[in-house]
Amino acid sequence: MIISRVWAQQPGTYFCLSTKSVDGKFRDHFFERDDFATLPAFLRKHQADNVYFCPHGFSEKRRQKEVAVIPRILWADLDHVDPDTIDIRPTIAIQSSPGRYAGLWFTDRKITEELNKRLSYTLGSDVSGWDLTQLLRVPGTFNMKYDAKPRVKTMWTDGPVWSVADLDNRLDPLNAADVLSETSDASAVYQKWEKHLPHWARKELIRTKRPSEGQRSEMLFKLANTMLEAGVPRDNGVLLLQASVWNKYEGRRDEERQLARAWDKATTKHLKNDSKKQREKDDGYKFLTRPLSEVEEREHNWIWYPYLARGEVTILQGDPEAGKSFISQNVAGHILTGKRLPCHIDNVPPVKGTVVYFDLENTADTVTIKRMKWNGYTGETLKNFYQEEHPFSIDDDEALEAVYQGLERIQPALIVFDTLNTYIGKADTNQGSQSQQSFIRFKEMAVRFNSAVLVLRHLTKGGRDKAMYRGQGSIAFTGVARVEITAGMHPTEENVRVLARSKGNLTRRPPALTYEIIDRGTAQERDKSKFEFGEFVDLTAEDIVSVDPRGQGRTDQREAAIELITTSLKDGAVEVSRLETMAEARSISKRTLTRAAEFVGIRRVFKGFGASKKTLWALKVNQPGDVEDQSRRPR
């Protein structure tokens, strides 16, 4: 069938047929791709109805613009324009009734509503039939509008597939009258107030290119403020906003009410700022116009205290063996499930939200999904995890606009970039000014979407003691970031890694946090690993970056612990508390001491009972009177 061929080539989850019964009632029916085979039976059942189809798909079972999925097809209700007479030949031509036509133009990539609108105006067809959610009659059904009930016919299906770039060059541009032609009232209102508005506002009100989703709220508010200053009445202003491309509520049932609320919000803000603006106008100053007494206090919105905050950028830096990706993926898992992340203070609530992960190195199907599964994040949890592997750079405005459209739709709590060098673009990362200008784009993204942005970067190969100077590229990156975390190996404990904050002035410096990536490999999954957070320890970022990458310091500590145990226990069992005190005097941690005991193969024994009961370690040779507990590991 024609409609299943059209739908099969378009993105979307649900596709809509609409029926109009003899009493004039419309009803929408939705089909998933697996349901296309049922279309002939559906049409037979509704042969007495007018039946229409929407050329594009939807993300939900609603024929509304906010859930429409942008397609790779253009359409037009040609009305009396015979498709045989036009140069831009449709891929599919339809005769809806004798002398009336419709057309479909397949394209090489996704289209915009503006392009579809230009097509309608260029062809001279019905100018109300270009927008998303538009319905066209289904070929093979009957047009019940006329007494003769003519059949809707397919004229041809072998027209060309069009290049969007070619169409953009061939189609006529829109003018201001076209932009506001949907309502003659809007056109008249625009002409009335045109001379009272600044050039930029006139340009935006008659703009034809549809903006990205993330820009519309800000511009609606800005336009409303400007029209208020020009004296535009509320009803006129709302009408102009409704007719513009900045109308983000277009197609919604409460469209006018939402626009009126936006206008009223701008009015309230405008009145509050009147005294301030008047003062600025009177003295003519642009800078230093607001004293601190007029600043409204606010708190940081932490996703993970004190490391990740909404509206801020955090850098996570470390060598490859630190497992930066493993850390960020595990943090993502906590946020996806609303599980509390480790915190050195009490009463910090967990945060649950969506995560966006930009990563070209760790592919979603061979790496990320496996790691998430190994750590217990599966099924429904991953519906809110979006990994993007398409390359782009943060200084590419066109690509960034497309990214913003996705972020506007998803509204993530956390955005991760793995790693910085992959996305920084053409900036010379060793030049401070260039680095700062590029990196500030991450900050703008965090503010715009009220998300925490986490950027991963590698360390340089030693040479400096301060952790904040060890990150690759300019120190300007650290300057723009609100928080910087350094990940690395524990200076004394083997296979233990540490996270330590190397920059941050929003809170007191927290203690460092240990973590492990534990090998859980099997015959079927050789690389299976489990991520586990550990305890808070008194280490600094400088302690981490100064660790010998060959692990010599950790080896020395373990050897010292083994020597302490074997020497102390050669004459019999010794209380664990005494051994721990001796170890601390030698700068040996409890964890290293315990692992050395496991290596030596000591026994855990008890002396006494009740409150006087003591725990001792002993070598394998039993001592008289020992009560052995072989069921537990050394404490």
How does the average pLDDT of the chain come out, rounded? 85
| 426's tokens | 């053409």
pLDDT 10s digits, 185-202? 788 888 888 888 887 888
Rounded to an integer, the average pLDDT of 242-252 is: 82
Using the predicted structure, report yes or no on whether residue 631 has a pLDDT greater than 50.
no
Question: Is 28 within 8 Å of 63 (Cβ atoms)?
Answer: yes
Give the percent of the chain with pLDDT over 70. 90
Tell me how many degrees the CA angle 71-77-79 measures, rounded to the nearest 5: 165
Burial of 25 (0-12, 13-18, 19+ CB in 10 A): exposed
Q: Kindly report the pTM of this predicted structure.
A: 0.50
How far apart, in whole angstroms, are the C-alpha atoms of residue 619 and residue 572?
Answer: 7
Question: Strand, coil or helix: what is 268?
Answer: helix
Sketch out the chain's domains with CATH numbers.
2-175 (3.30.70.1790), 183-280 (no CATH), 309-546 (3.40.50.300), 550-619 (1.10.10)
| CB atoms near residue 603 (< 10 Å) | 20
**Average pLDDT, stretch 215-224?**
83
3 state SS of 266: helix
* Confidence category of residue 628, pLDDT binned at 50, 70, 90: very low
Q: Model confidence over 493-533: pLDDT tens digits?
A: 888 999 999 999 889 999 999 999 999 999 899 999 999 99
For residue 554, give the nearest of 477, 467, 599, 494 by alpha carbon. 494
The band of 624, judged by pLDDT with boundaries at 50, 70 and 90, is very low
Q: Which residues contact 430 (CB under 8 A, 6 or more apart)?
A: 473, 474
Residue whose structure tokens are 């930029």: 200
Asked if 481 contacts 502 with a C-beta cutoff of 8 angstroms, the reply is no
**Minimal CA–CA distance to 212: which of 478, 75, 16, 403?**
403
Token readout for 148 is 């003769």
97 phi and psi angles, rounded to 5 deg: -165, 165
Q: What confidence score (pLDDT) does residue 627 get?
A: 46
Q: Are 439 and 424 contacting, i.e. CB atoms less than 8 angstroms apart?
A: yes
Which residue do the tokens 């006139």 mark? 202
CB 114 within 8 A of CB 175: no
Distance of alpha carbon 118 from the chain centroid: 32
**Res 278 pLDDT > 60:** no
Q: In what order do the strands lie in the sheet with 529-537?
A: 385-388, 355-359, 414-418, 452-457, 313-318, 483-489, 497-504, 512-519, 529-537
Confidence of residue 352 (pLDDT cuts 50, 70, 90): very high
Give dist(CA 367, CA 380) in Å, integer: 19
Contact 161, 5 (CB under 8 A): no
Q: If 0-12 CB within 10 Å is exposed, 13-18 middle and 19+ buried, where does residue 353 land?
A: middle
Tell me if 194 sits within 8 A of 177, measured CB to CB.
no
- Cα 12 from Cα 455, distance rounded (Å): 32
Rounded to 5 degrees, what angle do the CA atoms 403, 408, 413 make? 100
φ/ψ (deg, to 5) at 175: -115, 180
Which pairing describes strands 355-359 and 385-388: parallel, antiparallel, or unpaired? Answer: parallel
Sign of the dihedral defined by the CA atoms of residues 165, 171, 173, 179, in that order: negative
H-helix or E-strand containing 72?
none
- Is the bond into 306 cis (omega within 30 degrees of 0)? yes
* 462-472 residue pLDDT tens: 655 678 788 88
Residue 198: strand, helix, or coil: coil
Query: Tokens standing for 76?
Result: 């037009």
Burial class of 358 by CB neighbour count within 10 A (0 to 12, 13 to 18, 19+) = buried
